[in-house]
Structure 1
């Protein structure tokens, strides 16, 4: 029986040797679940802990190559086999079509995929078919791969509608965006300025042999990811894991304000609480109301704030229904991190590209528009509302804000990053350039309410 170390974390004792076919079965189940509309994060929760690191690593690889794999399967078998067998076959092709980047020797992968098919009731009948397809692929690899070269979904490993939208929205950057989506995202930390300066925490990491570089006002980007429990002072709230683009929100919302004032702040869609915590690190006296429509996700907010040693009022409530939660006291500042397609974070969540549908952006833009309309009256004159999404689609960014400004003459747009392409975040003030680099894609618009 072929056994392997799980590829994601061979340092852990829980990642003991397991049959590769079991990892491949679970990975194919993850691919099948994503195709059926289930998020990879949710699917991984059902994977046994001993398999999870390896299945996550293989699933990320498979989903980043699923467009190419699907195109190859269509050449090998024009009629798709049943979903479980198709997922297993496409998983195999995704993992082995590029031999230089295959996580295991291709012959090993093929043998173990066939074994996985034989060991699973839902694919036993198709095990011979899967074997025949993969053996043919190994014989005709160069020709078959060449035949997919004109297929955009195979070339870019994204749905065609997604490719078309990026071309329309970002004609100068769409290819770079698609290429970047294929690379793992860096691990970035937010240093809690109540405990450390960025430099002192960088020194603490260096003392443990971990190299990093400053990003943004409070961030450090690690050269190599490490388990969070190994970070100095993590449990004491000295540092948090947060992408550099997401770290822009709190300092942009509060820039120029006295950090010792008890500002009345609403974080309207707060879970899991990263931006809420950052607001309170910058302005410890702020009176923050953190909302999330999901009660279970509110528990995550509580956990994160408790670890940081800061306090906010956390409520499970729908931000679009203020009658159920608002006490009538207007806010000095509102952070609206609105629901979106998450098209800016596909490096971290490669399943997103396959979960989304062409109509999702328009539907979510309606939700975003309604939230802006509902929350704007809750803001004081002279107050600020920061609208942001982790999307690079203009339908969920510029389009929403320009329409809002046309309807609300009491709203002024402050200098803001706008559509922030994945790029390098400079030190110091919030990012002002949109060059490609090492952070997630976001959209930011800072609005101020004026007297009319």
Structure 2
């Protein structure tokens, strides 16, 4: 049988792919979604789900897994063999956090060494994993006493403790959980109760939210293609806290509205679900992510103008247009969505926060002239750090006599069964 005729399952080793994905993130600074997307067409649906579980899980539990490797090896793999270090993390994660039988997990991980063309290291990998199986309980006790049990880098832990001295532990605990699945029901398509019943008929149980009537939490997360009429636009997967943005903006039909830093388009489509006759311009700097805006608009059968543009230079894409409302979802540290993107913990640096705060403030200052007098701007981030949120707004208000705050600043913190960490402020031009 030639290699091209082999069944798909024989053409790849899932554990080797996972190790390469982790290497891309931790050694080369890639976002985890990049290698996962590029490997997605190499694996079948079942393995795709397992690949995501392993890779996201390793990012979540990284300090624990690293602790075990350091205690089981005299010298860790470096250089061209570094990928084997990440393969060990893959093996350990499976043993600890999946239902795969321990010896099967170890065996498949050892097979991954061959696929990675590191056959000479098979014995070492096998030995480390077998040692871990023997010493698992003892090593786990050692980790609890000596290891980084917060599973966060020290700089981020320090910032969270400083900002939230009374609730930092709750935030850390929420960050270390798997994220809940929230959906937004498109009320142009179904009333919420009807759609909830459709879900129930398919065996998908949901819970409502007390504050947002179109939000439903899926009790046991499912792939989006299992949601009834998803491709017909009946619902959108969107975190609970993110769903507040469009409501706070309060769009009205026939208004001109700018959604800046709009990709992948969840908030753009929500604006249009609330005000279908609004004239919406969605702008983002990332040409790849802009494609997602188009896809979401098409699926929901909504119309908006979409442009690739930089929030720092609105004169290049805005012409002389002014807007009744602007939603600025500013680029940020994403420290509020760590449970959805645990690689953020290891990709961000402490020094990034000041740079991001500078960028956010400049975008806010540069877009402000494009808001009509009397118009509303909603400033949003998925951060929980005050430098990017309340401090920005207080500075902006001090620098701009024609800006006033409407209502209170809203800082949502990640909640185990609730929404992610998000910040919102509503400003009006006087």
Q: TM-score of the superposition, structure 2-length normalised? A: 0.90
CA distance in 2, matches of 1:75, 1:230: 43
CA distance in 2, matches of 1:131, 1:207: 47
- Secondary structure, aligned partner of 2:144: coil
Show the counterpart of 1:272: 264
Contiguous gaps of at least 5 residues in structure 1: 1-15, 424-435
Show the counterpart of 1:13: none
Show the counterpart of 1:126: 121
Show the counterpart of 2:427: 447
Instruction: Choose the corresponding residue for 1:68, options 64, 68, 72.
Output: 64
- Secondary structure, aligned partner of 1:418: strand
Count of matched residue pairs? 414
The one-character-per-residue Cα deviations of 1:155-212 (angstroms, maximum 9, x if unpaired) are 1222222222211111222212222222221221111122222222212222333211
- Secondary structure, aligned partner of 1:235: helix
Say if 1:21 and 1:116, in contact at 8 Å, map to a contact too. Answer: no
Q: Tell me the CA shift for residue 152 of structure 1.
A: 5.2
Please say if 1:55 is aligned against 2:46: no
Please say if 1:344 is aligned against 2:336: yes
Show the counterpart of 2:21: 30
Q: Tell me the CA shift for residue 278 of structure 1.
A: 0.7
- Secondary structure, aligned partner of 1:315: strand
281-290 or 175-184, which moves further after superposition? 175-184
Say if 1:214 and 1:221, in contact at 8 Å, map to a contact too. Answer: yes
Q: Tell me the CA shift for residue 374 of structure 1.
A: 0.4
Matches within 5 A, 1:29-108: 29-36=20-27, 37-47=29-39, 48-50=42-44, 51-82=47-78, 83-96=82-95, 98=96, 101-108=97-104
Greater fraction helix: 2
Say if 1:181 and 1:347, in contact at 8 Å, map to a contact too. Answer: yes
- Secondary structure, aligned partner of 1:362: helix
Q: Tell me the CA shift for residue 358 of structure 1.
A: 1.6
Matches within 5 A, 1:219-234: 219-234=215-230
156-165 or 124-133, which moves further after superposition? 124-133
CA distance in 1, matches of 2:133, 2:296: 49
Show the counterpart of 1:326: 318
Matches within 5 A, 1:369-448: 369-416=361-408, 418-423=410-415, 437-448=417-428
Q: 1:90 to 1:236 in 2, by over 3 A?
A: closer
Q: 1:249 to 1:88 in 2, by over 3 A?
A: same
Q: 1:19 to 1:184 in 2, by over 3 A?
A: farther
- Secondary structure, aligned partner of 1:246: helix
Where does structure 1 differ by over 6 angstroms across 4 or more consecutive aligned residues?
A: none
Show the counterpart of 1:433: none
Q: Tell me the CA shift for residue 19 of structure 1.
A: 7.1
The one-character-per-residue Cα deviations of 1:336-358 (angstroms, maximum 9, x if unpaired) are 00111211112222222122122
Contiguous gaps of at least 5 residues in structure 2: 1-6
Q: 1:27 to 1:137 in 2, by over 3 A?
A: same
- Secondary structure, aligned partner of 1:345: coil
Show the counterpart of 2:3: none
Say if 2:26 and 2:346, in contact at 8 Å, map to a contact too. Answer: yes
Show the counterpart of 2:193: 199
